[in-house]
Amino acid sequence: MDKLKSVLSGEESRRDDRTVLQTVNEASSLSWATRVKGFVGCFVVGGVCTILGICMLFLPKIGLTLFIVFYTFGNICTLGSTMFLMGPMKQLKRMCDKTRALATTIMITCLVLTLCAAFWWKNFGLALLFCILQILAFTWYSLSYIPCVREAILKLVSKCIC
């Protein structure tokens, strides 16, 4: 019956005119309390996975593999947690800003390459290198949200090197 009402009132034709982005945006309209709960939950899961991964590093034989899996999943959860606060489309747009595009690209590439090196290529030294690069890229990406911090760090590093 609701379908018939929407067709007769013309709402159905308006729904067909919406883009995929508008549909996703409308589907993700959560209350602020729900967004905060989602952010905290996802951030805590990411933090627990990261800490668990570091603890797994010391297990013989499978420790490095478990570290890579848990650490990478923790980073994905932590990154995804901010989507609850801003919304998925706004987060993706901010990730692609010119100030964050390089850090985002390196971070996502290192996430994928870490898993490829661990499971596909079975090269744990390379996986550990990609994991370190993942840490650095994620840190650099996170610092981009704090005004003037990255510039201050670059000045500090340039003074220390010279």
Q: What is the pLDDT of residues 96-121, one digit of tens each?
A: 999 889 999 999 999 999 999 988 99
- Report the pLDDT averaged over residues 69-92: 90
Could you give the percent of the chain with pLDDT greater than 70? 83
In terms of pLDDT, which residue wins out, 85 or 2?
A: 85
Model confidence pTM above 0.75: no
Q: How far is CA 142 from CA 92, 95, 109, in A?
A: 14, 10, 16
Residue pair 42/82 in contact by the 8 Å Cβ criterion: no
- With a cut of 60, say whether residue 7 has pLDDT above it: no
pLDDT given at position 17: 60
- With a cut of 90, say whether residue 4 has pLDDT above it: no
Q: What phi-psi label fits residue 52: left (phi over 0), alpha (psi between -120 and 50 degrees) or beta?
A: alpha
d(CA 133, CA 110): 7
pLDDT given at position 38: 93
Q: Report angle CA 24, 75, 79 to the nearest 5 degrees.
A: 35
Give the mean pLDDT of the chain.
84
